[in-house]
Chains A and B, each alone.
Chain A
Amino acid sequence: MKMVLEARQVSKIFGGLVAVNKVDLIVPEGSIASIIGPNGAGKTTLFNCISGFYTPEIGDVLFNGRKIQGMLTDKVAAMGIARTYQNIRLFKNMSAVENVMVGFEPHLKHGWMTAMLKTPDYQKEQKYVINEASRLLHYVGLAGLGDNLALNLPYGAQRRLEIARALANQPKLLLLDEPTAGMNPQETDEMKDFICHIRDDLGITIILIEHDMRVVMNISDQISVLDYGQKIAEGNPKEIQANPRVIEAYLGPGAAALSEKYRREKTHDA
């Protein structure tokens, strides 16, 4: 199987704090990989290393076999890595459809001259962008809301708009940072289905940071667990659920033994 992303021994150090410590991450094409871990485990830092926000001090990040660390984020985006943000970061005072239109930027060829003269090619390109942006809004379920300012949209719609903007980049790898944060169970379910759709319809590989275990265990092909910047476990949902180190990372030392005891008692009772 072809690997879309390979992170080898990635480390990111802030002063004395090792936020990400020698993490390996290999994501096969067309899969949904989740990164979980307690707060402050270094999940978002790892995302930032992949999307070019940070340059890791040690280690390589390979996208489709090409090294991308140290590249500017706009070049990374043009290569095909798009992302969303933990705290929604839209262009608030632009309309929703404009937000998506900005996402097409790395694939457009216009310049100040063509924009000034409104050449036929430029007009064609603009028409294409408006049309595609509207279709993307329709795809994420925001049809008809495109002319509202982004800041006026409800919370769930803002999350979807962020994904639409990321999809406008025409990415091969999509990084979603807590896409269901702050959503109610129904919205969470919808988002879960939507993420699967993105993978199945568009063939985009997805890496997910998520705290909601129902989402993670349901849709992930592969789960990596970070704690204190280190990867402590990796595997499919079943393996992760049974892994004592993961349970201890979340619930504290000794928790794994307790949980084992609890399970035995339960089976004993039955």
Chain B
Amino acid sequence: MNKQSLQKSAGSGLVFGIIVIFLALIGFTVVFSGLIQKVLGQSLGVGQIPSISNFFIFLGFLGIWNGWRASRQDKHETLTLAKVLMRAAVAGLSAGVLVMLYGFVVGGLDARGTDMRKYLSMLSSDSIKFFLFNQSLVLGGLIHVGFSTLMALVGGLLAFGSERSQQQVRTNRTKIQKWSQSTWLGKVQGNPYVTYVLMGIVLLLLVLLPRTWGAYWNYVMGTVGIYVLLGLGLNIIVGLSGQLVLGYVAFFAIGAYTFALTTSPEPHNLVWNFWIALAVSVVAAALSGILIGLPILRLRGDYLAIVTLGFGEIIRILLKSDILKDFTMGPRGVRNIAGPTLFGRSFTSDVDFMYLIILAVLLSIFLAKRWQESSIGRAWLAISQDETVAQATGVDTQKYKLLALSLGAAFAGLGGALFASRNQFTGPEDHALMVSINVLVLVIVGGMGSIPGVVLGAFTLKGLPEILRELESYRLLVFGALLVVMMIIRPEGLWPARRPKLEVPVGQDNEPVPLPATAGGEK
């Protein structure tokens, strides 16, 4: 048992102690225990302190994590039971003692009648008592120490067990593979019908869910859908062609405003048909992609990012300004934007609109997939990996970069038009910088250049905060923590892009395919 590894365990325990103290200081312990209580099916009134048992569950999680972390210090060493228990105990003890000291301080101050809420709004007398398990100062502190050590030991044992089982798996890997191939599991994998059935189930869900889950979820999922559209577009620009465009919201705004101005009675009284206006918005956004693209063709990397950032802001400020007030209504925004109509029947209910968004998303995924898997997609990837070499290999980089910008912008235009139509309103503040950042983050979180990644990323970024609404004001904290954890566990994104298998075997009987009439020869 060397001293260094114990010091390390103690250090990691102290970090966990600090985390517990921090969470207690901001009142998160109470809120999260309340959430556990709700999840377990017990009711909890607003402002009510949850029961102590839930606090134990919360502390238990952290304690087990602490023990797990502390006992696995080096990936390559083989763990022994004594080593693991020693480390876990040290980590648990150090965390517990630190927490106990904190309990003494706040508990003591509270007992003297100091009102801590003057300094930290969450630190009420009730929450401090809750932190000490409604026990006396000393007893509460000792319970913290004991429980922390106990849970750390459990965590250590878990780590030990998982390490052992992983070793077993490693030695038995081929056995397991053979077994899984012989059972139904192996037969199911790689069977095309399974994919069709899964796709059928997803389609059925897409048809049924909007009818059943109510207006609120239709609104949330509609937003997710619109962000999927935006993500697909930015994925082409950033993920595939590798141009870091930060002003993506400009295309979104152009789509939304084109749609708004052509369908709203104010300010121009052009009440166009929904579908024509939709198509015009998409085309307008695509053209704006080319227009913005032309001057920035030569820019790369940071410079491109900064210039496009400026473009995004220019569009927003122009929309807000007095110069265009007669044309775009200025900061008031455009109201009474038309909803969709089909054969004279207007369908503006939330369910109908959800279907429209689902349709748009499916169509966009189909198109994005086609482009991504084509020669165009390969040329984009080549440009993103080494633009100089791609050009010297004969890729017309200017053409492909413009193509990426305009196709990406077209998706944003579609998203913008649907967004404006659904809200029946659009104003300059709908098109702030945060939209660009959000879309960029969802593309990165999902996995650059991966279409399923975009969908997952949109759900994570736009859906998860809604699900986390239970956590009230802490949801952004939890959300941020989740993002950090995710980037540590899966730095390449939730669903990273894989390259397709393309090589065909070459043999004697493999004659060269004759060149089609359109291909080959001099250009």
Q: Indicate whether A89 sits within 8 Å of B389 (C-beta atoms), given known contacts A130-B502, A131-B504, A134-B503.
A: yes
- Interface pair A95/B394, CB less than 8 Å apart: no
Quick one: CB contact mask for A172-205 with B, threshold 8 Å, 1 for yes?
0000000000000000000000000000000000
Listed stretches A6-14, A19-27, A107-115, A262-270; interface member: A107-115
> Which of chain A's residues has its CB closest to B523's CB?
A78
Give residues 485-523 of B contacting A (CB, 8 Å): 499-506, 510, 512-523
Residue A158 is within 8 A (CB to CB) of chain B in the complex? no
Chain A residue numbers with a CB within 8 Å of B397 are: 74
A93 to B396, CA, bound (A): 20
Give residues 70-126 of A contacting B (CB, 8 Å): 72-74, 76-78, 82-83, 85, 89, 91-98, 101-103, 105-110, 112, 115-116, 118, 121-122, 124-126
- Interface pair A106/B392, CB less than 8 Å apart: no
- Interface pair B386/A91, CB less than 8 Å apart: yes
Listed stretches B119-127, B207-215, B372-380; interface member: B372-380
The contact size tier of chain B is 35 or more
Chain B residue numbers with a CB within 8 Å of A122 are: 374
Quick one: CB contact mask for A48-70 with B, threshold 8 Å, 1 for yes?
00011100000000000000000
Residue B43 is within 8 A (CB to CB) of chain A in the complex? no
A52 to B394, CA, bound (A): 12
B510 to chain A, nearest CB (A): 7
- Interface pair B392/A53, CB less than 8 Å apart: yes
Residue in A52, A132, A146 whose beta carbon sits within 8 Å of that of B512 in the complex = A132
B519 to chain A, nearest CB (A): 5
- Interface pair A135/B375, CB less than 8 Å apart: no
- Interface pair B395/A105, CB less than 8 Å apart: yes
Q: Indicate whether A73 sits within 8 Å of B391 (C-beta atoms), given known contacts A102-B378, A112-B403.
A: yes
Q: Indicate whether A149 sits within 8 Å of B499 (C-beta atoms), given known contacts A131-B513, A134-B505.
A: yes
Residue A169 is within 8 A (CB to CB) of chain B in the complex? yes
A56 to B262, CA, bound (A): 53
A132 to chain B, nearest CB (A): 7
Residue B171 is within 8 A (CB to CB) of chain A in the complex? no
A73 to B519, CA, bound (A): 21
Chain A residue numbers with a CB within 8 Å of B395 are: 74, 102, 105-106
Chain B residue numbers with a CB within 8 Å of A109 are: 518-519
Q: Indicate whether A91 sits within 8 Å of B516 (C-beta atoms), given known contacts A106-B394, A165-B393.
A: no
Residue A242 is within 8 A (CB to CB) of chain B in the complex? no
Residue in A94, A107, A130 whose beta carbon sits within 8 Å of that of B499 in the complex = A94
Residue in A77, A98, A135, A147 whose beta carbon sits within 8 Å of that of B510 in the complex = A135
Chain B residue numbers with a CB within 8 Å of A125 are: 375, 516, 518-519
Give residues 227-244 of A contacting B (CB, 8 Å): none
A73 to B510, CA, bound (A): 33
Q: Indicate whether A110 sits within 8 Å of B393 (C-beta atoms), given known contacts A95-B499, A125-B519.
A: no
Chain B residue numbers with a CB within 8 Å of A130 are: 502-504
B375 to chain A, nearest CB (A): 5
- Interface pair B392/A51, CB less than 8 Å apart: yes
Q: Indicate whether A137 sits within 8 Å of B503 (C-beta atoms), given known contacts A112-B371, A116-B367.
A: yes
> Which of chain A's residues has its CB closest to B404's CB?
A112
Of B392, B519, B523, most A-chain CB atoms within 10 Å: B392
Chain B residue numbers with a CB within 8 Å of A166 are: 393
Of B370, B391, B397, B515, most A-chain CB atoms within 10 Å: B391
> Which of chain B's residues has its CB closest to A102's CB?
B382
A72 to B391, CA, bound (A): 8
- Interface pair B370/A169, CB less than 8 Å apart: no
Q: Indicate whether A108 sits within 8 Å of B393 (C-beta atoms), given known contacts A97-B503, A101-B502, A147-B503.
A: no
Chain A residue numbers with a CB within 8 Å of B506 are: 134-135, 137-138, 143
> Which of chain B's residues has its CB closest to A91's CB?
B385
Chain B residue numbers with a CB within 8 Å of A93 are: 381, 385, 499
Residue B407 is within 8 A (CB to CB) of chain A in the complex? yes
- Interface pair A77/B393, CB less than 8 Å apart: yes
- Interface pair B394/A74, CB less than 8 Å apart: yes
A241 to B397, CA, bound (A): 44
Residue B390 is within 8 A (CB to CB) of chain A in the complex? yes
A95 to B381, CA, bound (A): 11
Chain A residue numbers with a CB within 8 Å of B514 are: 128
Quick one: CB contact mask for B397-418 with A, threshold 8 Å, 1 for yes?
1000001000100000000000
Chain B residue numbers with a CB within 8 Å of A135 are: 506, 510, 512
Chain B residue numbers with a CB within 8 Å of A52 are: 392
Q: Indicate whether A116 sits within 8 Å of B518 (C-beta atoms), given known contacts A72-B391, A74-B395, A131-B512.
A: no
Residue in A124, A143, A169 whose beta carbon sits within 8 Å of that of B393 in the complex = A169
A143 to B503, CA, bound (A): 9
> Which of chain A's residues has its CB closest to B372's CB?
A115
Residue A129 is within 8 A (CB to CB) of chain B in the complex? yes
Residue A127 is within 8 A (CB to CB) of chain B in the complex? yes
Residue in A98, A106, A165 whose beta carbon sits within 8 Å of that of B502 in the complex = A98
Chain A residue numbers with a CB within 8 Å of B510 are: 131, 135
Chain B residue numbers with a CB within 8 Å of A82 are: 393
- Interface pair B389/A91, CB less than 8 Å apart: yes
Q: Indicate whether A128 sits within 8 Å of B513 (C-beta atoms), given known contacts A102-B395, A109-B519.
A: yes
Residue in B367, B374, B385, B519 whose beta carbon sits within 8 Å of that of A128 in the complex = B519
A5 to B512, CA, bound (A): 30
Chain A residue numbers with a CB within 8 Å of B367 are: 116
- Interface pair B374/A115, CB less than 8 Å apart: yes
A116 to B391, CA, bound (A): 24
A86 to chain B, nearest CB (A): 12
Quick one: CB contact mask for B114-157 with A, threshold 8 Å, 1 for yes?
00000000000000000000000000000000000000000000
A102 to B501, CA, bound (A): 15
Chain A residue numbers with a CB within 8 Å of B370 are: 115-116, 118
A178 to chain B, nearest CB (A): 16
- Interface pair B389/A128, CB less than 8 Å apart: no
Chain A residue numbers with a CB within 8 Å of B375 are: 101, 105, 108, 110, 115, 125-126, 129
Chain A residue numbers with a CB within 8 Å of B503 are: 95-97, 130, 133-134, 137, 144, 146-147
Chain B residue numbers with a CB within 8 Å of A127 are: 513
> Which of chain A's residues has its CB closest to B396's CB?
A74
Residue in A51, A77, A96, A128 whose beta carbon sits within 8 Å of that of B516 in the complex = A128
5 closest A-B pairs by beta carbon, nearest first, are A146-B503, A106-B394, A77-B394, A115-B374, A138-B506
18 contacts between A and B (CB under 8 A): A53-B392, A89-B389, A95-B501, A98-B499, A98-B502, A105-B375, A106-B394, A106-B523, A107-B521, A108-B375, A110-B376, A115-B371, A122-B374, A125-B518, A129-B375, A131-B510, A134-B505, A144-B503
Binding site for A on B (CB under 8 A): 367, 370-371, 374-376, 378-379, 381-382, 385-386, 388-397, 403, 407, 499-506, 510, 512-523
